């Protein structure tokens, strides 16, 4: 009886183990669905490129699996170089995510607090004792937008030191009492770049390289004010019929508010790192991704993307630079990332312009959920 009971028990264990393995491994149906999703995404973006002359690179992934990684159109019409997933684009205002991360790295090291004032680091800054680093990060300082200053547009071809950029906005009156309203202003993130440099004793370029890019092996990403890092980067175009290069705007002017260049492949590494504590703690990440006024956190918009009647929590940002347009959407509860980098400008000049594309891509991904 004992031997028979033992054999039965062993058979039970084997069957139970096989059952567990069956459920633990991806089913044939799941693999088939993934293949269909990849084909559908490829078909959608191929059609988009043909219909609307979409020119750029796209990377879409879910749960650590890349579903689409493609380039469309031409990166440089002089050389005929096509866009690829490795093509370097200006990501424009998505730079702010790197700037906010840099500030939080410094806070975790005890070198600053988001409750410190601008005057603590930039003496004689007008109203600097009323404006905190938190106000800058959350776009609630009331700063005048320095890109609206007519004097700037007389100097767009010229290299600017960070402190020179201050002169385009520091003497302008505040638009409102700090902390009372949300108003997106690149002046906030220019000021943060200067604070990062003064606290760290490093240039903004070197700080992000040492503390973010190198640890994450983002080898094709840089703030490149001297324009030497990426000689074969994509050119920016105002129009494609015929190809019309965008006006030149010196990258030192966009600085820590919008001058980083990157690839979809590198930005995917950035996305994956934000699920970990590789750069900052989980508690610090949570603070960064807590929405304030205007649904803005620290360098990110935080809201929900509606897809086929379902709401998906979304951390996102967009960027618009002369001849470039970027959009990054992280659907964090679904572990979905949609990265779109274009070397053509937005036509409406609004953050929502690429939302229909993002929604359609997400709809394809979630179709069988």
**Domain at 186, CATH number:** 3.40.710.10
318 and 351 Cβ atoms separated by less than 8 Å: yes
Which residues 6+ apart lie within 8 Å of 30 measured at CB? Answer: none
| pLDDT tens, residue order, the chain (369 aa) | 444 444 433 343 333 443 333 344 455 555 667 899 999 999 999 999 998 778 999 999 999 999 999 999 999 999 999 999 999 999 999 999 999 999 999 999 999 999 999 999 999 999 999 999 999 999 999 999 999 999 999 999 999 999 999 999 999 999 999 999 999 999 999 999 999 999 999 999 999 999 999 999 999 999 999 999 998 899 999 999 999 999 999 999 999 999 999 999 999 999 999 999 999 999 999 999 999 999 999 999 999 999 999 999 999 999 999 999 999 999 999 999 999 999 999 988 888 889 999 999 999 999 877
| Cβ count within 10 A of residue 219 | 12
Q: Is residue 89 part of a domain?
A: yes
How many residues are there in the chain? 369
- Count of domains observed in the chain: 1
Per the structure, the complete domain to which residue 190 belongs is given by: 74-313
What pLDDT is recorded for position 13? 37
What pLDDT is recorded for position 32? 62
Q: Is residue 229 part of a domain?
A: yes
Q: Is residue 5 part of a domain?
A: no
Q: Is 170 left (phi over 0), alpha (psi -120 to 50) or beta?
A: alpha
Q: Is residue 219 part of a domain?
A: yes
Q: What is the largest CA-CA distance in the chain?
A: 96
Which residues 6+ apart lie within 8 Å of 244 measured at CB? Answer: 237, 238
Q: How far is CA 270 from the centre of its chain?
A: 8
Distance CA 192, CA 231 (A): 28
Q: Is residue 52 part of a domain?
A: no
Q: Is residue 1 part of a domain?
A: no
Q: Is residue 301 part of a domain?
A: yes
What pLDDT is recorded for position 306? 96
- CA-to-CA separations, 335 to 62, 169, 300, in angstroms, rounded: 5, 39, 17
Q: Is residue 63 part of a domain?
A: no
What pLDDT is recorded for position 350? 83
């Amino acid at each position: 009886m004992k031997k028979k009971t033992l054999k039965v028990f062993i058979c039970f264990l084997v069957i139970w183990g096989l059952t567990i393995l069956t459920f633990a491994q991806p089913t044939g149906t799941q693999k088939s669905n993934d293949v269909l999703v990849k084909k559908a995404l490829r078909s959608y973006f191929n059609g988009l490129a043909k219909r609307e002359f979409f020119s750029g690179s796209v990377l879409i992934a879910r749960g650590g699996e890349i579903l689409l990684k493609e380039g469309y159109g031409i990166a440089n019409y002089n050389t005929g170089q096509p866009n690829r997933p490795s093509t370097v684009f200006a990501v424009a205002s998505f730079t702010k995510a790197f700037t906010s991360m840099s500030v939080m790295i410094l806070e975790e090291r005890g070198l600053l607090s988001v409750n410190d004032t601008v005057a603590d680091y930039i003496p004689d800054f007008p109203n600097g004792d009323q404006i905190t680093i938190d106000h800058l990060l959350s776009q609630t300082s009331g700063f005048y937008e320095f890109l609206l200053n007519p004097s700037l547009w007389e100097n767009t071809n010229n290299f600017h030191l960070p402190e020179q950029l201050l002169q385009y906005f520091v003497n302008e009156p505040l638009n409102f009492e700090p902390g009372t309203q949300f108003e997106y202003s690149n002046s906030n993130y220019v000021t943060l770049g200067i604070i990062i440099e003064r606290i760290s004793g490093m240039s903004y370029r070197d700080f992000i390289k040492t503390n973010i890019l190198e640890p994450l092996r983002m080898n094709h990403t840089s703030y490149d004010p001297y324009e030497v890092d990426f000689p074969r980067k994509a050119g920016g175009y105002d129009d494609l019929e015929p190809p019309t290069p965008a006006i030149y705007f010196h990258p030192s002017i966009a600085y820590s508010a919008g001058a980083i260049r990157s690839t979809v492949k590198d930005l995917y590494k950035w996305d994956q790192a934000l699920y970990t504590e590789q750069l900052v703690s989980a508690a610090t990440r949570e603070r960064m991704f807590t929405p304030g006024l205007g649904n803005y956190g620290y360098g990110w918009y935080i809201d929900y993307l509606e897809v086929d009647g379902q709401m998906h929590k979304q951390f996102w940002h967009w960027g618009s630079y002369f001849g470039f347009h970027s959009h990054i959407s992280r659907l964090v509860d679904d572990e979905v990332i949609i990265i779109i980098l274009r070397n053509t400008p937005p036509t409406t000049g609004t953050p929502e312009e690429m939302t229909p594309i993002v929604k359609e891509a997400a709809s394809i991904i979630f179709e069988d959920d």
